[in-house]
Amino acid sequence: MIANLIARRIAIIGVGLIGGSLARALKKVNAVKTVAGYGRDEKHLQKAVQLGVIDTYSLNIKEVVNDADIVVLATPLSTADSLFAAMSGSLKQTVIVTDVGSAKGKIVESARGNLGELFTRFVPGHPIAGKEASGVEASFAELFDAHRVILTPVAETEHEALNVIIDMWELTGAEVVSLDVEQHDEILAATSHLPHMLAYALVDCLSGMQERDKIFEFAAGGFADFTRIASSHPRMWHDICFSNRKQLLKVMDQFEQHLDSIREAIKNDDSDALLNIFERAKTSRDKFTDQRKKRNDSPE
């Protein structure tokens, strides 16, 4: 299967759920000879070697990237600035750098500011896949299979670099699509970042209630579905909020207006208004389900 080889050596910066799953997926199809891992916690990196996720590691990022054909940044977004800065002097001229961050605007600026002329070799990326569990132990090769990966190349991005990263993700089974940086951040604020804020706020709200024990005792499947994402990695989501702050605040304001419309309808006994909102929402949600079925994407 050597035909699949996209790189001799890949460096995974942050060997967690996403970085680890990418390494596993690429190894599974023999798309890479050596995976080198960087992290701050040596025990964690040793575990990743034991699990066969990476082949080598170092706590010195320069050693990990200096020989790499592809460097994948898979750490929380707030670390991007310092890690780009730390690696920039040690990268090969032919390197391709990519990332997996859930917000693209800030990381593109960070790469632009830190990678110098190698910024043209940076391909911003975002796999739409994940689960609540984090860490390399939770990683698995099929995480991206039949999931979308959004790439947000900019004017400077070299086509050759873009094509290699498209190939890389397609080898994991993912469907690769392109969006503008701005459009990505707006869409993700609405479909992912806002729902996470609502789930965190709901769980925090209920935890603060007098009846909290009974509340959690009687919470049923709908609540479980609704709040599962509140078990997501706090530091990662903290970073996403600040990285996509403008779009997130905008969509939070819009959401509150819609929630207020519901509240006002209930408060004012406005039966027609309330029914109208619920029917409109059900129509949209049912349409979404139909589209999803048609796309035959990850099943609901």
Q: Exposed, middle or buried, 32 (CB in 10 Å: 0-12/13-18/19+)?
A: buried
State how beta strands 148-151 and 175-178 pair: parallel
Residue 290 C-beta: closest distance to its own copies, Å: 10
Residue 240 C-beta: closest distance to its own copies, Å: 10
Q: Which C-beta is closer to its own copies: that of 59 or that of 278? A: 278
Q: Which C-beta is closer to its own copies: that of 7 or that of 17? A: 17
Residue 165 C-beta: closest distance to its own copies, Å: 19
Residue 292 binds to its own copies (criterion: CB under 8 A): yes
Binding mask 88-127 for its own copies (x = CB under 8 A): ----------------------------------------
Q: Which C-beta is closer to its own copies: that of 27 or that of 193? A: 193
Identified binder of its own copies from the candidate list 218, 293, 294, 296, rule CB under 8 A:
218
Output phi, psi for 294, to 5 deg: -60, -40
Beta bridge partners of residue 10, listed in sequence order: 35, 70
Residue 155 binds to its own copies (criterion: CB under 8 A): no
Residue 225 binds to its own copies (criterion: CB under 8 A): yes
Q: Which residues contact 151 (CB under 8 A, 6 or more apart)?
A: 123, 124, 125, 126, 162, 165, 166, 169, 176, 177, 178, 179
Separation between Cα atoms, residue 69 and residue 66, nearest integer Å = 9
Burial 101-132 (b: 16+ CB within 10 A, else e): bbbbbbbbebbeebbeebbebbbbbbbbbbee
Cβ–Cβ < 8 Å for 236, 200: no
Residue 92 C-beta: closest distance to its own copies, Å: 34
Instruction: Kindly indicate which of the ranges 50-58, 87-95, 156-164, 244-252 contains the residues binding its own copies, using the contact rule CB under 8 A.
Output: 244-252
Q: Which C-beta is closer to its own copies: that of 59 or that of 133? A: 133
Residue 293 binds to its own copies (criterion: CB under 8 A): no
Rg (CA), the chain: 21
Q: Which C-beta is closer to its own copies: that of 41 or that of 278? A: 278
Site for its own copies, residues 188 to 207, rule: CB under 8 A: 188, 190-192, 194-207
Crossing angle of helices 234-243 and 194-207, in 10° steps, is 130
Identified binder of its own copies from the candidate list 3, 257, 294, 296, rule CB under 8 A:
257
Instruction: Kindly indicate which of the ranges 61-69, 86-94, 153-161, 289-297 contains the residues binding its own copies, using the contact rule CB under 8 A.
Output: 289-297
Which among 143, 235, 125, 142 has a CA at the least distance from the CA of 188?
125
Instruction: Kindly indicate which of the ranges 7-15, 16-24, 66-74, 224-232 contains the residues binding its own copies, using the contact rule CB under 8 A.
Output: 224-232
Identified binder of its own copies from the candidate list 68, 128, 162, 181, rule CB under 8 A:
128
Which among 112, 40, 34, 122 has a CA at the least distance from the CA of 76?
40
